[in-house]
Amino acid sequence: MPLAIAATLEYARETAKPADEWHRFQIGVLNQPDWKVPAGWEKPVPNIQEEVKKGFRQGQWYSCPPYDFYVGLMGGFFNKGGVERRDTIITFNYDLVIEESCRNLRIPVGYGFQVSRDKSAESIITPTKNAKLQVLKLHGSVNWVNFRVYLSSSEEKARPALGHEEDWELNTGHPGTRVYGDYSELRNKGFSPLLIPPTWRKDLGGDQYARIDFSCVWDAAVAALRTATNVIILGYSVPTTDLHFRYLLAAGLQDNISLRKVLFVNPGLQDKPGKEAEKKRLEEQLIGPSGLFRSEHREQGVIELIPADTREFFTGPHDIYAGEAYRVRIGRPLNPPTYTREDAPFRFSDRPENSGSWR
C-alpha cells in the first residue's frame, strides 16, 4: 500500500499543469545585489513589464508560483526575522510539495530528527533537527526509507546501492532513516517509502524501527506546539474520527505559556447561500462540548476562526476595513517593520480570482 500511495502521488506530480499566469504572484525585488532568482520563477505578466519599463514600478519583477510564495512567507525567504525565530510546518501529507518549494527558494529543511541523507537530498535537507524551518511529517514521506529493515534482511545487497559505504555504520544508527531528494531517486535504488497508510489502525509503523522513527517526529511536533506563539491550522477539515490530531493539540498546547493565538483557516466558515448547515457543522466541530476547543477560548480571543482559503490568508484580507494583513498579525510580514514603502526589498501584486484588476 505505501508503494501504491507514493506512485499515485508521483503520477499526479508529473502530470500536474503549471500554475496559471493569473494564479502566480508578481514579486518585485529592490536593492538586493546578491539576490538570486529562484528556480521556477518566470518573467512577470505583460502589464507589470510595461509598468516597469515606464518607471511606474521599481526593482526587478518576477512571476512566482503560489506555493513558493506561501512557503517563502512561512520559512523566512522574504523576511528572515530575528535569530530566535523558528518556523515549524506540521503535516499529515506524504508529498514533497513543501520540500520542492524549499528547494527552489534554497531554504534548508529539517525533519525534526537526525537523518542520513542521500546525495540527492544534500542541497535541501539538513541532517540534524536544529534547522530554522522544520517540516514534521507525522505519517511519513515519499522520500523516506527505513534502512534498518534492509540492513537486517539483505545487508550485502543493500550496501552497494547506497553509494555511501564510508558512513554506513554512522548513518544506520538510531533512528535508521535515510532521505532522498525525491521519490524517483528512492525507487531507483529499489526501495519503498516509509509511510503510514490511511487505515483504521493508525499505529506508528509496521516494525520496531519505524515506530522509533515516527515517535521522534511526533515528539518534535508536541515540542513545537508547547513553545509556539502562534498556531495556524490550514486546510484541515476536522474529522471527528481523527483522534491523533486531537491528542497532538492537547499534548502540545496544555503546557504552552507563550501562546498568543490559534487561527483556524477554512473557507467552509464563509457565509455562502446554501452552505449554512456545512458552516454550522464545522463550527461545532471546532468550538463546543465535543469540539477541538472550548467556547471560552473563543470568547477570550485565543481561538479565532478565519473564513478564508490559503491564498486569502497569506495575501489578504483584501477588504480595506478588515485591518492589517493576517501575515502581519502572526509576525510574518513580507518585509521587516523597519522598512518603508519606498525602500522595502520585496513587494508583490496579487490578482484575486474574482477581480479583473491588479492590487
pLDDT of residue 213: 60
- Establish if 223 belongs to a structural domain: yes
Given a cut of 60, is residue 162 above it in pLDDT?
no
Given a cut of 70, is residue 247 above it in pLDDT?
yes
Given a cut of 80, is residue 299 above it in pLDDT?
yes
- By CB neighbour count within 10 A (0-12 exposed, 13-18 middle, 19+ buried), where does 131 fall? buried
pLDDT of residue 207: 52
- Establish if 131 belongs to a structural domain: yes
- Establish if 239 belongs to a structural domain: no
Domain containing 156 equals 83-227
Q: pLDDT band at residue 148, thresholds of 50, 70 and 90?
A: low
Number of domains present in the structure of the chain: 1
pLDDT digits (tens, 9 = 90+) for 229-240: 999 999 887 777
- Establish if 293 belongs to a structural domain: no
- Establish if 125 belongs to a structural domain: yes
- Establish if 221 belongs to a structural domain: yes
- Establish if 234 belongs to a structural domain: no
- Average pLDDT over the chain reads 82
pLDDT of residue 123: 84
- Establish if 183 belongs to a structural domain: yes
Mean pLDDT, range 51-62, rounded to an integer: 91
